[in-house]
Structure 1
Amino acid sequence: MTLSRRQLLQSVGAGVATGVLGTTASAAGSRTDTRRVFVHPRNGLLGNLLEVVESVGGTTVLEYDNFDFVVAEVPESRLDDLLSATGVAAVEEDDETGIPDDWDPSLLDVLLPPDRADCSTHPDQRASWGHERIGADDVEPDGTGVDIGILDTGIQTDHCSLEVAGGRNFTASGPPGDYEDRHGHGTHVAGIAGALDNDLGVVGTAPNANCYAVKVLDDEGRGRYSELIAGIDWCMSNDVELISMSLGGETESETLAEAIASAHEEGHLLLSAAGNEGNPGDGTCDAETMTYPATHEDVLAVAATDEDDSLASYSSVGSAVDLLAPGTNIVSSVVDNEYAEASGTSMACPFVTGVAALVWETVDEDGPGPNEAVRQALTESAEPVFENCEEGYGLVDARAALAEDGAVDDEPDRGADRDGERTGNRLEAALEWLANAIRDFVEWLNGLFR
């Protein structure tokens, strides 16, 4: 949440830490009480913001090409001084994001090459059940000319089943040009979205798309919203049409929301895993277990199914779910030139990203722009499987999404009903936010006259 001046004074004055964020270690291993925060300028003007940060003993650690705010490390005792400084409008914590700690891929002996470094020894190509379930094996487009940013732990650049078009590292795990994956999650995600159709190992949903390794999670699978925003910023600056995020955080962020809205407005399509926080499994739709940024209205949120078309027990659910995709026991590439089976909404998201690339290829427009049209094609052609609100619009369907007169016109009421439901949910949330803001303002006014 964004910290108002009143909230900062309360937390700092009482000596209460509102989160251990951005603490730095000295060479001797001791810790200084600093906080890593977003600093927003008043009226969107950066002006002398860097000097303001420095004046309170802070250090600016990140600036962006497309956004008018910075990330800074600031002594916790000076946060109130920062917020009251001329030209500063808001300060917000830089919260954490990442992949589930229990992500546990299982190497497949049947796909283990005798010599991992020698591509000629790799096994014959094998599509995952999810690839076939969504109809990706039965369409002509292959993602040619479409750019996909895989915002994750990086991608193994010399994997026999992958071709990495480029990328950038925004973590402390190596220099900016080192976007190698030393974890495995990003390489698995990349394989689902865009593994090559080269008769080796596995094949992706959009095998001829350009996959970019945008490393926003470190070698342990952890990151911060500031690094995720840096990845979005890089995709915007490099006209990467699709921004795929198989990650999530526990808290919402107004700063990240601003970055997402800007990318969406510029024509990029952003997709995110719904989260692996589980669900009641009763179809009542009362649960809201999704992680952020999947709940953002400009993000296409993806939940996961098992092979029998049931909702995966680990899959998060909520009113912001847009689509389903296969997520359990999905075969894909992993680091060390190997192949593994893994489960999670992280695996479901790149299936939808891949289908989005197939649809984007058919649109007569280069670069960012037709995101709303592509999103509509995906949602309105989706296949209902649960017939309840847990599925969003339904299971992504590559064939229907690419059909000239597809499922869009066959079931117009279904999409309209669910759009109405989402609008109602978002209106309710907006009214709640407004009520809280009014309450805080009244409390602030009362404080002036005490």
Structure 2
Amino acid sequence: MFSYLLYVLALGVIGTGLIQKKKHRPKYKIIGFRDEVSIEETEGILSNHGIKIKKHLPLANACLCLVDEISAGFKSLTANDNIEFIEDDYIAMIQVIPQTADSLKIKSQTIPWGISKIEAPKAWKHCQGEGIKVGIIDTGIDQRHPDLKANIKVAHSVVEGTGADDDNGHGTHVAGTIAALDNDIGVVGVAPKAEIYSVKAFDNKGRGRVSDIIDALNWCIENKVHIINMSFGFSVNSQALERAIREVHKHNIIMVAAAGNSGGKDTVLYPAKYPEVIAVAASDNKDKAADFSSSGPEVNIIAPGVDISSTYINQEYRLLSGTSMACPHVVGACALLMSISGADADNVKNAVLSTARDIGLPEETQGAGLVDVSAAVSNIKKTKGGFFYE
């Protein structure tokens, strides 16, 4: 009996030790520094505390590091005056409604209802997105898709150990809404001559980490894109991402993001929630708000997001729904306006919002209203520096 009790106690001690070991397992953290601290100084500070850098995140003046939160080095680091914040490497999700729809059989080119609803075809005689570089931070892209490949200029991945191809379908669908070719097959995008710069930052399950998204934003800056599509969202604010978004804005780049699929009031996700970003809600073909569409004071505009037909992986086409699908309609609209005007990001944003059509929904649901490409283009005169309104 005594031996049995010793055996049970021993198991308890071992079990507790295993739990503690698992609980205190090192994890990745983003460590942000004060603005005046240089990259060289960050390396020295972290080295002095015994912390190794996984990668630098210059847009956020931060580093991704593998740390042991109970180590003396980490505890002393948290008290260092040069540290602005320490946070988890949060995970974002693509904003698409789960579905099991089969591939669409499209015999000849059709214009998706959302493209028609925002009156993009009426603008094509004036502009089709020529010369505008659109960055798509997503699950990658089907580089062999016949409705996309001529418009794909660069495809890149920032996810360790993966290529740039889409292994989910979401990124390819988003790309098609923005810039599927006008080529007599499949579908056509809002801006059929825009240039696609795809950067994979999300895995095959539609999950992406802050650190990879910041890398993708930096890649977009380096490749001098004009507009960035962000059909994803976080439920929590990341100080590192917020810093990166502010830096991107300084580069005269338009950023557009999905408002979120949480429904209800005051549910807009990040990065759509940031003031530098255009937050897009979703509507259906009857100009009603999608029941899943997030709402809140941060919503800037609404666009088609229910049963949207677009390109898909394996050279297919598919219907998808979500604010993920609404977002690229606005990105395409911005590409059209920028291609005809040559205006800067703020002027394009103002033009899109000021010409949106009121569809009778609360402001927190529709923002300025439904994006109206034709109305925006018709009120623009091509000038050297920006917009003139009639």
Give yes or no for the alignment of 1:330 onto 2:314: no
Residue of structure 2 in register with 1:40 after alignment: 32
Corresponding residue of 2:86: 91
Determine if the alignment matches structure 1 residue 356 to structure 2 residue 340. no
Look up the match of 2:175: 190
TM-score normalized by structure 1? 0.75
Q: Cα deviation per residue 1:219-242 (whole Å; 9 max; x = unaligned)?
A: 211011111111111111111110
2:147 partner SS? coil
- Shift in alpha-carbon separation, 1:292–1:66, aligned structure 2, 3 A: closer
- Say whether the 8 Å CA contact 2:24–2:70 is kept in structure 1: no
Q: Note if 1:152 corresponds to 2:126.
A: no
Work out the CA distance in 1 between the residues paired with 2:82 and 2:104: 60
Aligned to 1:10: none
- Does residue 165 in structure 1 map to residue 153 in structure 2? yes
The aligned residue for residue 396 of structure 1 is 371
> Which residue in the other structure is 2:56 paired with?
63
Aligned residues: 357
The answer to whether 1:259 aligns with 2:259 is: no
If asked which structure has higher relative contact order (CA below 8 Å, sep 6+), I would say: 2
2:353 aligned to which of 379, 385, 404:
379
* Distance in 1 (alpha carbons) for counterparts of 2:281 and 2:202: 21
Identity fraction in percent:
33
For the pair 1:215 / 2:200, whether they are aligned, the reply is: yes
Mapped contact 1:38–1:92 kept (Cα < 8 A): yes
- The whole-number CA distance in structure 1 between the counterparts of 2:81 and 2:274 is 31
Normalized against structure 2, the TM-score is what? Answer: 0.86
Q: What amino acid is the match of 2:368?
A: Y
- 2:144 partner amino acid: D
Name which of structure 1's ranges 218-227 and 348-357 shifts more when overlaid on structure 2. Answer: 218-227
2:61 counterpart SS class: coil
User: Quick one: which amino acid aligns to residue 288 of structure 1?
Assistant: D
- 1:122-161 correspondence runs (5 A): 123-139=107-123, 140=125, 141-161=127-147
SS for the counterpart of 2:293 is coil
Contact 2:139 2:170 in 1 (8 A): yes
Following the alignment from structure 2 to structure 1, what is the Cα–Cα distance between the partners of residues 171 and 324? 9
Sort the Cα spacing of 1:37 and 1:202 in 2 relative to 1 into closer, same or farther, 3 A: same
Aligned equivalents of 1:109 and 1:96: distance in 2?
31
Change in CA separation of 1:314 and 1:387 when aligned onto 2, cut-off 3 Å:
closer
Q: 2:298 aligns with which of 313, 316, 320?
A: 320
- Specify the code of the residue in structure 2 equivalent to 1:81: S
Q: Distance in 1 between matches of 2:103 and 2:40?
A: 55
Unpaired segments of 5 or more residues in structure 1?
A: 1-29, 112-122, 280-286, 411-450
Query: Which residue in the other structure is 2:277 paired with?
Result: 299
State the shift of 1:213 in Å. 1.1
What CA distance in whole angstroms lies between the structure 2 residues aligned with 1:400 and 1:363?
14
Residue 327 of structure 1: how far off its partner (Å): 0.3
Sort the Cα spacing of 1:31 and 1:92 in 2 relative to 1 into closer, same or farther, 3 A: closer
* CA shift digits 1:197-253 (9 cap, x unpaired): 111111110111111111111121101111111111111111111011000011011
Larger mean CA deviation between 149-158 and 254-263 belongs to: 254-263
8 Å CA contact 1:41, 1:49 repeated in 2:
yes
Deviation at 1:31, TM superposition (A): 8.7
Q: Which residue of 1 aligns with 2:321?
A: 343
User: Which string of whole-angstrom CA distances, capped at 9 and with x for unpartnered residues, describes residues 73-102 of structure 1?
Assistant: 111213322223474343222211022575
- For 1:56 and 1:103, how far apart are their aligned partners in 2? 44
Distance 1:100 1:146, change over 3 A: closer
Which whole-Å CA distance do the structure 2 matches of 1:173 and 1:207 have between them? 32
Answer yes or no: is the 8 Å Cα contact 2:96–2:325 preserved in 1.
no
User: Structure 1: which 4+ aligned runs deviate by more than 6 Å?
Assistant: 406-410
| 1:424 paired residue number | none
- Tell me what 2:5 maps to: none
Of 198, 221, 239, the residue aligned with 1:236 is: 221
